[in-house]
Amino acid sequence: MGTEVLYVVDRVKEKKAVLINDKGNVAYAELSKLPPGIEEGAVLKVRVDKLGRHYWKSASLDEEERARRIKHAEEVLRELQKRDPGGNLVL
């Protein structure tokens, strides 16, 4: 049957989205095959079969995961700001 893999939309170019999973693998998908509302930073759950085929049409947006990742990034940035002697890291 396969598994679900999380992809983040890195950028949208012309009629395609460039997506990156947590292992750093890059995939490309036509916007017409993705759920509506796709934009940079969106997190998608995508079914991938044992042969590595992606089922983009059945992908779904994962807003909770996106919010979790943004919160984590903000926390990391705050920690880095505490250690920044020049005070030039900004949120």
Q: How do the pLDDT tens digits run along the chain, 91 residues long?
A: 679 999 999 999 889 999 999 999 999 999 999 998 899 999 999 999 999 899 999 999 999 999 999 999 999 988 888 886 776 656 5
Phi, psi values for residue 88, rounded to 5°: -105, 10
Beta carbons of 61 and 44 less than 8 angstroms apart: yes
End-to-end Cα spacing for the chain = 42
pTM (2 d.p.): 0.80
Which amino acid would we find at residue 69? R
| Residue whose pair of structure tokens reads 């598994």 in the numeric block | 3
Q: What is the DSSP-derived secondary structure letter of residue 85?
A: T
Phi, psi values for residue 11, rounded to 5°: -165, 160
